[in-house]
Amino acid sequence: MGKTQYYIPVGPIHPALKEPIRVEVEVEGEKIVKVDVKRGFAHRGIEYMGMKRNAIQSLYLAERICGICSISHPYAFVLGSEKALGIEAPPRAQYIRPIIAELERIHSHILWLGVIAHEMGFDSLLFWTWKGREKVLDLLELLTGNRINYSVFMIGGVRRDIKESQIKAIKDTIDFYRTFTEEMKNVFLSDPIYKARSRGVAQLSKEMALKLNVCGPVARAAGLRMDIRQDNPYDAYADIGVKAIVPQDIVGEAKGDAYDITLVRLYEIEQSLDIIEFCVENMPEGKIMAIPNYVVLLSRIKKKAGESIGMHEAPRGEVVHYLKYDGTRDGPAVWKVVAPSYNNINTWGSLLLGAEVADIPIVVAYIDPCLCCNDRIAVVKNRDGRVIDYSLIHKKAIEKTMRVKRELGVRE
């Protein structure tokens, strides 16, 4: 008695999430008492299509699983294919690949920092971070020919070489991001309002992280030292000896909340810069493709049977591709894709319970959900219920930020 429960569907379409997903929550006052996540608004059946096409076509399909991780899926796909088919990429290609992959990590992490700032109501911060992000997109365009969807990886190598003139551009970009990351660290980590809005929000313990099978920055923020580049290294990462970035190494303890994940992502940008620098300085000479002719490559694939797991650490966590070639056709006979958000969305249910309505945007955004990766099919069902649209929740999030600001006595 006296308790009124409201039902709030969030999504599937609203401007802040950019992608369709539906989170249904029931609230009592401001507290969330029941959560239901409905996925599958972007499922395209990519694995099904890939099992009918040849390996190079499937590689292009893998690239279009997600436009933000548009190098991570091809990376896992080519690694898996190379392991299954016994092809080894030339040393120079093994150094070019991590450069592209790390540039993608930089742009993806900056994108997330902008989104989380927007969710808290700091829109000028969103525009400032995204302005900085354009620089890395420029470099990617210079190296690969496109801002997004680079089409640069191939089974047994890469399709484009890095020239001497481009190396200068890479070095300039690294210098720019050294300063820019320092500035971002200042803005995000020392701002009292940001800290108040993110400390303790979306807190995930180490044990829960294990049980919910999460990966990537979400797991690392909870203190799990897992990173495919460290656990099962490949390409130039094997030479570098990458270490997973966990909050306990930086500030002494891991709380696994939205603040820690910001910390992890910011330090990972610096780590990426180090990796790119190493690769540029130590890049071996030589060819870039093991089998430069695609017809020869496809006929070799057709003759060979094998299966393997291809893994790559994408910006959001591990991308796993299981591939089986059966020796009868030139494409994968079985293809299974597991993207990081597939596992990381598991956290929403438990993290939203007991949280405030104003924290929904932060909890939802903190894993950096990438639903294109996750879903690959779509469903929208209409349900009755009192509809409070997302813009209102976003407004509440901003109001809370303002309230925190007043309570902390921060002047504009």
Partner 1 sequence: MRGEQLTAEQVLEKLQEALGEVIISHEIREYTMGVRKKKSYKEIWMEIDKDAFRKTVEEIFKLDYPHLHFITGEDKGGDTIKMIYGFALYHGFPWGQVSIVLKFDLPKSNLVLPTITDLMPGAETNEREIREMLGVEFEGLKNKRHLFLPDDWPEGKYPWRRDEYGVEDMVKHTHKSVNEIRRGE
Partner 2 sequence: MGKLYNFKRSLWVFHASGGSCNGCDIEIIAALTPRYDAERFGIKLVGSPRHADVLLVTGAIPRDFADKLRRIYEQMPDPKAVVVVGNCGTTGGVFYDSYNLVGPIDEIIPVDVYVPGCPPRPEAIIDGVVKAWLKIEKLEKQLEGKE
Shortest distance (Å) from residue 30 CB to partner 1: 27
Beta-strand runs (E) in 212-344: 305-314, 317-326, 334-338
Contact status, residue 329 vs residue 301, Cβ threshold 8 Å: no
CA distance 67 to 72: 10
Interacting residue ranges for partner 2, rule: CB under 8 A: 12-15, 18-20, 41-46, 48-49, 52, 60-61, 64-68, 70, 111, 126-128, 130-131, 133-134, 137, 147-149, 370-372, 375, 377-381, 389-391
Q: Which residue has the tokens 């094997």?
A: 238
Query: Where would I find the beta strands (DSSP E) of 256-354?
Result: 305-314, 317-326, 334-338
Q: Shortest gap between Cβ of 248 and partner 1 (angstroms)? A: 12
Look at residue 67 and give the partner it binds from partner 2, partner 1, none, a contact being a CB closer than 5 to 8 Å depending on partner kind.
partner 2
Give the orientation angle of helix 123-144 with respect to helix 164-189, to 10 degrees. Answer: 160
Determine contact, residues 84/323, Cβ cutoff 8 Å. Answer: yes
The listed partner (partner 1, partner 2, none) that binds 39, CB under 5 to 8 Å by sort, is partner 1
Task: Give the nearer residue to partner 1 in terms of CB position, either 187 or 378.
Answer: 378
Burial grade of 222 (CB within 10 A; 0-12, 13-18, 19 or more): buried
d(CA 265, CA 220): 10
Q: At closest approach, how far in Å is the CB of 192 from partner 1? A: 33
d(CA 50, CA 54): 8
Residues whose CB falls within 8 Å of the CB of residue 37, separated by 6 or more in sequence, listed in order: 21, 22, 23, 24, 345, 348, 349
Pick 3 or 381: Cβ nearer partner 1: 381
Residue 177 C-beta: closest distance to partner 2, Å: 16
Of 142 and 378, which has the nearer Cβ to partner 1? 378
Among residues 140, 126, 155, 191, the alpha carbon closest in space to that of 54 is found at 155
Report in angstroms how near the CB of residue 281 gets to partner 1 at its nearest: 12
Could you tell me the smallest distance in angstroms from the CB atom of residue 241 to partner 1? 7
**Binding partner selected for residue 18 from partner 2, partner 1, none, CB under the kind-specific 5 to 8 Å limit:** partner 2
181 binds, among partner 2, partner 1, none (CB under 5 to 8 A by kind): none
- Work out what residue 385 binds among partner 1, partner 2, none; the CB cut-off runs from 5 to 8 Å by kind: none
Residue 32 · residue 354 · CB < 8 Å = yes
**Partner whose binding site includes residue 215, from partner 2, partner 1, none (CB under 5 to 8 Å by kind):** partner 1
Q: Smallest distance from the beta carbon of 409 to partner 2, in angstroms?
A: 31
Identity of the residue numbered 196: A
Is the CB of 59 or the CB of 362 nearer to partner 2?
59
* 405 binding partner (options partner 2, partner 1, none; Cβ < 5 to 8 Å by kind): none
Q: How many CB atoms lie within 10 A of CB 403?
A: 12
> Which is closer to partner 1, CB of 241 or CB of 327?
241
